[in-house]
Structure 1
Amino acid sequence: MRRTRRALAVAVTAALAAVAATGCGGGSTDAGSNDEPDKLTYWASNQGTSIENDEEVLKPVLDAFTEETGIEVDLEVIPWDSLLDRILTATASGEGPDVLNIGNTWSASLQATGALLQFDEETFARIGGADRFVPSALAATGAEGQDPAAVPLYSLAYALYYNKQMFADAGIETPPTTWEELVEDGQRLTGGDTYGLAVEGASIPENTHHAFVFGQQHGADFFDAEGNATFDTPEAAEAIKQYIDFLAADGIVAPGNAEYAQNQSLADFAGGKAAMLLWQAAGTALEHQGMDPDAYGIAPVPFQADPPEGGRQVNSMVAGINLAVFQNTDNLDGALDFVTYLTSDEVQVELNGAYGSIPPVLAAQDAPEFATEERAVLRQTLADSAAPLPQVPAEDQFETLVGTAMADLFADAASGNEVTLDSVRQRLHEAQQQVTG
């Protein structure tokens, strides 16, 4: 059965509450962890252009691990629209894999279930030490003050992609560095069936990522120091209205973008229907869409021209994938050997090179594959101006509830309904009222 966005929010919230109440369970089952020292189960997230593409990328890497260690790896690549549900089911039942990928924004929420192995100092020593990893990526591995619940595997950051020819035709010589410039440029680039910017108004993750960045720039945190939700502050409303206004007030986003789900904006940008795109490491995906790399430029995501009091110089979330070990694995040694292997310099270069991401392992970043213009921008952003989403247990509810509220606001704007600060704040208040725990 197809679930609505609100139903999904309720389901995810209920599942996490159940996990917190029951714990992670113990012992292995046929469905997940195993007691055979020469085998591992691995749930990988869909990073490539398809499940089949992921299998093509990962199989040689896993075969090499088997040849090196004698440990066979049973791989399952799981689509993003079902990955969190699968993980939540596994953490509640204890029937999980030995090793799994998790979105780094879920780290604290899944950590709170007790189902994932904690990487304390001794465990980090087993895999080569915590100092091998980029600090910003390591900051997105669990709650502050606790041992991480995972280690970084792939790192991503947002950048501004722009169509060089469309900019030249409009007489725009350089990409915008402020949101005010982006709106001005976007309006010059909008006309007929072409728009200045492509967004994905129905994509809950995309909405949430931009809510966080605009929120940081406006001084909104979405949670207080105790981890309580503060979704409906004036700062948060200003931040989210600024993003929704690209469609609602500025007119640089096509109304149809309000219905776009994940990855649909890429086709508009690659096809010349939009001149700009805010995206995480889009190069590989744009190439898959048939866009020549020479056709677009890459620049850092803009900042506020006149930052409000409390605004921060953050222009991207620390995006990426973390690698976790299921707490009740019966092959802990093999699982940690596998983590060591996947985070080794050589394998980091191979995998991140294939996926267009940035290695969170510092030494691997020096490889020639990561000297391109795109990756230089992403590396600089991760080093200087990216921040992790709130590492609190209710972060997953922030993603689902605020992302859904923004989708509703985009739908309002596309329907011709006025989007005001009051209407934004009301939606955020309604979202905050649904937070549990």
Structure 2
Amino acid sequence: MRINRLAAATAFAATLALTVGACGGGSSSSGGGDNSSPKTLTYWASNQGTSLENDKQVLEPELRKFEQQTGIKVKLEVVPWSDLLNRILAATASGQGPDVLNIGNTWSASLQATGALLPFDDATFAKIGGKDRFLPATIASAGAAGKDPAAVPLYSMAYGLYYNKKAFAAAGIANPPATWDELVADGQKLTKDGKYGLAIEGGNVSENVHHAFALGQQHGTGWFDAAGRPAFDSPEAVGAVKQYVDFIAKDKIAAPGNAEYANNQSVTDFATGKAAMLMWQSAGANLTSHGMNPDDFAVAPIPVPAGATGTKATTSMVAGINLAVFRNTKNLDGALQFVKFMTGDDEQKQLNKTYGSIPPVKAAQADPAFATPELKALSDVLATSARPLPQVANESQFETLVGTAVKNLLAGAAAGKPVTDDTVKAELTKAQQQMPAN
């Protein structure tokens, strides 16, 4: 369920300039065959399960259920995250794409700027059951502020602090840390005998920028100014990134080797007892698949500064997957019927149970399956202390450039290079200089 955008997002700036003026005109689908029949839809689903084949096994019975209800056949293609954004950009440039598609929710404003996705105005929302069915935080991550959303939420996630209860008890720590000072102090108690207090995924650009964003909120920056211009090297941004890099550089509660982790190795380290804390999205299924007993871990909100309120008490970005309709669809009514089906209470319960995610539809969250201690904790985060990443047209480049800057700084810290405000600012200034103009 993790999203890796680096390769795709690096191509985004050049392609975006083409797609803004190239998305008009109708076409048949390039993703699954001719969709000119009102009885056929094409759907690009993102890889949410353990494999592409696993997703097909999950989704095909649901699509047959939709066909039985409506008579509309859905041609499914599950697209790997490594390919999805490039596939979508190619479709917007050519005007030929699927009828319905999954997108990472942080891409919403960037793809909205191409004009290729159907806006969900009040009338369109009414056709799928109404806007007020969804959690407000998830709608806020579906497009730029002041504009009709470019998609609707499908699966939601949030970050939490996973901690090893046995390790905490052995170290005499009674409760999970609520502030960063407490986390560092606890992490130092837990760092001994070749084990570390915290595992991070320093080679993973997406993970880096997600934490940089939340810490930036806590330090008082949204990474862009009111006019949508990047503010990557502000004192607040520098402080946020330095705090994260210092887990290796100064606090020494994360292993230097974590700077190279990019493929969920931090989850493995936590599951196997090599680290006592982990900041992750909806990790429970992943942890148990690595043999960790669910009774051995618990989840708390990620720490905040002492006394923090408002946006400075942000503990997570709003994570998740959105469902969009390609504007050029020749079967708009069928596409909206499909969106209504996929976001209906029953399907929301079924699909989010299967994938271990949180329903963005409020009524579906009442199902007891989402009342486990883990999902309840993450649902509370999503409802109270999560904020959407910047909903600006060049958000994808922000993720790539800032996430890479943090990766570079962590690699330097692991190699013993000094980490100062000046070195952090220099790396963030370089990232800002590479941002394209709005």
* TM-score over 0.5 for the pair: yes
Alignment check: 8 A CA contact 1:160 1:299 kept: yes
Alignment check: 8 A CA contact 2:212 2:241 kept: yes
* 1:26-175 pair list within 5 angstroms: 26-32=25-31, 34-175=35-176
Q: Does 1:272 align with 2:295?
A: no
SS of match in other structure, 1:230: coil
User: Which position in structure 1 is the counterpart of 2:398?
Assistant: 398
User: Which position in structure 2 is the counterpart of 1:423?
Assistant: 423
User: Which position in structure 2 is the counterpart of 1:380?
Assistant: 380
Post-superposition offset of 1:316: 0.7
Report the Cα distance in structure 2 between the residues aligned to 1:121 and 1:311, rounded to whole angstroms: 28
User: Which position in structure 1 is the counterpart of 2:15?
Assistant: 15
Report the Cα distance in structure 1 between the residues aligned to 2:90 and 2:7, rounded to whole angstroms: 17
Report the Cα distance in structure 1 between the residues aligned to 2:254 and 2:414, rounded to whole angstroms: 10
Q: Which range moves more in the overlay, 82-91 or 366-375?
A: 82-91
Alignment check: 8 A CA contact 1:232 1:432 kept: yes
1:146-182 superposed Cα distances (whole Å, 9 cap, x missing partner): 1000000011111010111111111111111111111
Q: Which runs of 5+ in 2 are unaligned?
A: none
> What letter matches 1:364 in structure 2?
A
User: Which position in structure 2 is the counterpart of 1:368?
Assistant: 368
User: Which position in structure 2 is the counterpart of 1:203?
Assistant: 204
Post-superposition offset of 1:30: 4.8
1:414-434 superposed Cα distances (whole Å, 9 cap, x missing partner): 111111111111111111111
SS of match in other structure, 2:64: helix
User: Which position in structure 2 is the counterpart of 1:237?
Assistant: 238
Post-superposition offset of 1:27: 1.8
Alignment check: 8 A CA contact 2:8 2:85 kept: no
Report the Cα distance in structure 1 between the residues aligned to 2:8 and 2:104, rounded to whole angstroms: 17
Alignment check: 8 A CA contact 1:227 1:394 kept: no
Alignment check: 8 A CA contact 1:25 1:94 kept: yes
CA distance 1:15–1:383, shift in 2 (3 Å): same
* 1:287-436 pair list within 5 angstroms: 287-305=288-306, 307=308, 312-436=312-436
Alignment check: 8 A CA contact 2:16 2:114 kept: yes
> What letter matches 2:411 in structure 1?
A
Q: Which runs of 5+ in 1 are unaligned?
A: none
SS of match in other structure, 1:223: coil
Alignment check: 8 A CA contact 1:405 1:431 kept: yes
> What letter matches 1:75 in structure 2?
L
Post-superposition offset of 1:193: 2.5
1:170-218 superposed Cα distances (whole Å, 9 cap, x missing partner): 1111111111111111111112321111111111111111011000000
Post-superposition offset of 1:76: 1.3
Alignment check: 8 A CA contact 2:10 2:397 kept: no
User: Which position in structure 2 is the counterpart of 1:258?
Assistant: 259
Kindly, what percent of the aligned residue pairs are identical?
62
Post-superposition offset of 1:272: 0.9
Report the Cα distance in structure 2 between the residues aligned to 1:6 and 1:422, rounded to whole angstroms: 26
CA RMSD, 1 decimal: 1.6
Report the Cα distance in structure 2 between the residues aligned to 1:325 and 1:6, rounded to whole angstroms: 24
User: Which position in structure 2 is the counterpart of 1:25?
Assistant: 24
1:232-259 superposed Cα distances (whole Å, 9 cap, x missing partner): 1010000010011101111111111111
SS of match in other structure, 2:11: helix
1:5-45 superposed Cα distances (whole Å, 9 cap, x missing partner): 9986542221222223x331322135137211111111111
**Number of residue-to-residue matches in the alignment:** 431
User: Which position in structure 1 is the counterpart of 2:282?
Assistant: 281
